[in-house]
Amino acid sequence: ADEDLPRLLDANNYEIAGLKVKNKQLLFEKREQDDKLRRQHQEIVSLKEQQKKLNTLISNKKLGEREKLEMDLTTARVTIAHQENKIQDLTKAVEIYKKTADREVRSNQIQLKKSQNNLRDLQDAYNELFIKYKAQEKELGNQNIYTQARPRATPKIKTRSNFKSGASQPNLTLESFNSTKNSTPAPT
């Protein structure tokens, strides 16, 4: 008998676990049934209220006034439906306008980024050319000094410079880039 005790305890524990699962399942089913019963009760109450309203309409002797009210109600429903259609059409138009505006803004942003990149590239190219120009001007100035120091029969090279010595580099802006871009023909 003592040898069967562990086996009996395991079987008992297994049975208890099964009963717990079954109990949980039954509780869940009971909650579902309670919810269903509550919904059905609410539906019955609603139907009873509708029945009372219909009974008062039936007992009402003013049938002509009721017909007029029903016609007014029908007219109002038609008007509401027409207005709802207008609202839907206007809503669609606004959505299309928003999409178009968003698309245009994105396009403008892309164009602006391209223009900024082009401006940056032009500024870099300008700076490189300016540095080369200054180096060549200095070299020509040095050559000019050497040619003046020893007399030669060759004519002197005159250089023209639009830049004053000590002047800072001009600041290129997007507006100046656009104005030069519009005034100079595009390369083909």
pLDDT tens per residue, range 125-161: 999 999 999 999 888 877 776 666 555 555 554 444 4
pLDDT of 82 above 80: yes
Q: Which helix (H) or strand (E) holds 62?
A: none
Q: Give the gyration radius of the chain's Cα atoms.
A: 47
Q: Provide CB contacts within 8 A for 147, sequence distance 6+.
A: 154, 156
| Rounded average pLDDT over 4-26 | 89
Residue 173: pLDDT band (50, 70, 90) is low
pLDDT of 120 above 80: yes
pTM for the full predicted model: 0.33
The predicted structure's pLDDT at residue 31: 93
The predicted structure's pLDDT at residue 123: 92
CA–chain centroid gap for 158, Å, is 62
